[in-house]
Structure 1
Amino acid sequence: MKPVRLLGMILAGALLSFGQVRAEGFPSKPIRLVVPFAPGGSTDIIARAIAEPLTKILGQSVIVENKAGGGGSIGALEVVRGSKDGHVIGMATVSTTASNPAINKKIGYDPIKDFQAITNIAATPNVIAVTANFPAKDYKSFIDLIKRNPGKYSYSSSGTGGIGHLQTELFKSLTGAFLVHIPYRGAGPALVDTVAGQVPMIFDNLPSALPFIKDGRLVPIVVASSKRLAVLPNVPTFAEVGLAPVNRMAYYGLLGPAGMSKEAIDKIHAGVQKVLQDPAVRKRIEDTGSLIVGNTPDQFAAEIKAEYEIYKDVVAKQNLNLN
């Protein structure tokens, strides 16, 4: 065999081998990013903010799929049952990985054992807000009023087991206040009825409540945030009023099924870190009222575990159930 021909065969074999390695590596096909809620909410907005730039970095399409229902559990189960090669990942929220599993024993997954944390993309402050005609307009008068009138006032939430429900129950357990829970089928309807005065207060994500606060239809009382917010400079944090355990921000992160390949974890994590350095992406996320995080898989796993333990304790202490 001629040397030139032999060299050509060797090179062709090497290129074929290299191609096979690339084809077998991650990602080898489009990645499904499951959002466990309907389009348009904060979770969906943040997912779509990272999907397109992450597509460019990973070299495969990152396709957002909305799988709403069951307080986020339907979408979460989609991830749990997904392939472990990293081509099915999902958005993680406090509702899907902590508060809902804490109260719903039949949810179908364990938020600690059945998922692989990748990163917390962003965190969002929550706020207790009251209607414009509520008798109290600041925290001191608010807490005095509700404690003097146990059971007189109610609060709305996105539903039993959601973050708004259990975060309010945590607040109640620490203050001794008695507020009546009015669950809705989603945060949107709960907010609409609160703004309309059907329910006097809500514990909601700031991005949803802020437009109504700005136009005077809701009054902010106290926020769950690491520090006072520039948009609400006169509103104290829960830590400031002596309720540090309630000072818990909502997270919006990425996770995959337990046993997910390390290659996929590392590549997605590295890709998200690059995405979060893009000023346009940062602005899009920060415009929702969220703060950029972008931590490690271990750090995010610790966050999820901490939230789950907190809300399991709330459920036990407050004797909460789905009925």
Structure 2
Amino acid sequence: MTQTLTIPTSLEWHEDHLLILNQQKLPNVVEYLKLRNLNEYYEAIVSLKVRGAPAIGITAAYGLAQAASLYETENLNEFITLFKRDKKYLADSRPTAVNLFWALNRLDQVLEHVQTVNEAKTDLIHTAIQIHTEDEEVCRMIGEFALTVLDDKRKVMTICNAGSIATSKYGTALSPFHLGREKGIGFQVFACETRPVLQGARLTAWELQQSGVDVTLITDSMAAHTIKEKGVEAVIVGADRIAANGDTANKIGTSMLAILCSHYSIPFYVAAPSSTFDLDSKTGEDIPIEERAREEITTIAGSIIAPENVPVYNPAFDVTSNELIAGIITEKGVLYPDFEESIGRAIGVI
């Protein structure tokens, strides 16, 4: 049987629930879950059932808007108090992904212009839907600009999963590969497995195969050898937060790739929407780095692989210094050094 090639997506809004692709189960099981209440949204984000900075923001927006739609009060002040409580609850789910806070704050701004509870409920849902639909166009534009930047480069490495299942569609770092396939442009993608949760192995490799993109899986420790022996021409990654000076937080292992690019004199690109920039973080030193459970390192698929009493350090992200980044690809265009100036000019006005 011939496989039907399509760009997979992970989020689908219905009137009383958000349907999500359970990314914990991939690639062995393709399972969709219905999120109906605030606790289910929170748990889905924390447990990585839904992941990727844009998808986290979209999910949180729907979660907060849906929770607000169920408040049993006609008093606008009481409504806003409940909203603020639930907003804080969701904001605590993933501290590094700035899109989460951006989306929640965008809903918060809706309440500045409403007169009644019914108006608030309607406008919050509409804003969440708008965030979702806007993201697809943003990702498509990022892909178009990325194709221009990559130009004649066809062997490209990436880490983690900054693809269509981490956004509304297309993705950020993976967007040029999906768009390239639609346009008949062939890439050879080398996907790092991305320990400890294996988002590259479980998600990126699966997603690109679904879309018909040529993808080869490697372990993270093979990156230097692969760049040298396979002639990798560029590295492109996503981002969970970008500081005002261009320092970028992304999945742990990203800064290692940037250092390798510097050694091998190939470009290192970051692809992210404008909502991922945090101008209140002046440098990477201001970005909070989430630390996750020790079991992510000491076990694989539930099997223990390390001594029970060994100390574990498990940061989920690292920060890549701006001087290692050749360009930051956004829906507004490609930003180049001096990043403080180019970010301030392109993003500071948003």
Q: Normalising to structure 1: TM-score of the pair?
A: 0.31
Q: Which has the higher contact order (CA 8 A, sep 6+)?
A: 1
Q: Normalising to structure 2: TM-score of the pair?
A: 0.29
